[in-house]
Amino acid sequence: MEQIVVVGSLNMDFAVEVKEMPEKGETILGKKVSLIPGGKGANQAYAVSRLGKKVQMIGAVGTDIFGDKLVGNLEKAGVGTEGICRVENRESGQAFVFVNEAGENSITVIQGANQDLTEARVDENEERIDRCDAVVIQLEVPVPTVVHTAQVARKKGKLVYLDPAPARPDLPDELFASVDIMKPNETELKILTGMEVSTGKEIILAAKSLLKKGVGAVIVTLGEKGCVLVTEKLVKEFPARKVNAVDTTAAGDSFTAGFLAAYEPDGEKREENLEEALLFAGKVSAIAVTRKGAQSSIPTLAEVMEEQKGED
Inter-CA distances, 166 with 8, 188, 243, 290, 291, Å: 12, 7, 26, 23, 23
Helix H segments across 91-237?
Answer: 119-123, 126-131, 143-155, 173-176, 186-193, 200-212
d(CA 58, CA 82): 8
Using CA atoms in the order 293, 259, 159, 174, what is the torsion angle rounded to 10 degrees?
A: -60
- Cis check: omega of the bond before 169, within 30 degrees of 0: no
Q: Is 86 helix (H, G, I), strand (E, B) or coil?
A: strand
What's the number of CA atoms in the CB half-sphere (13 Å) around residue 87?
Answer: 19
Q: State the catalytic residues.
A: 253
The amino acid sitting at 201 is K
Helix (H) or strand (E) holding 290: none
Find, among 71, 51, 105, the residue nearest to 251 by Cα. 105
10, 93 in Cβ contact below 8 A?
yes
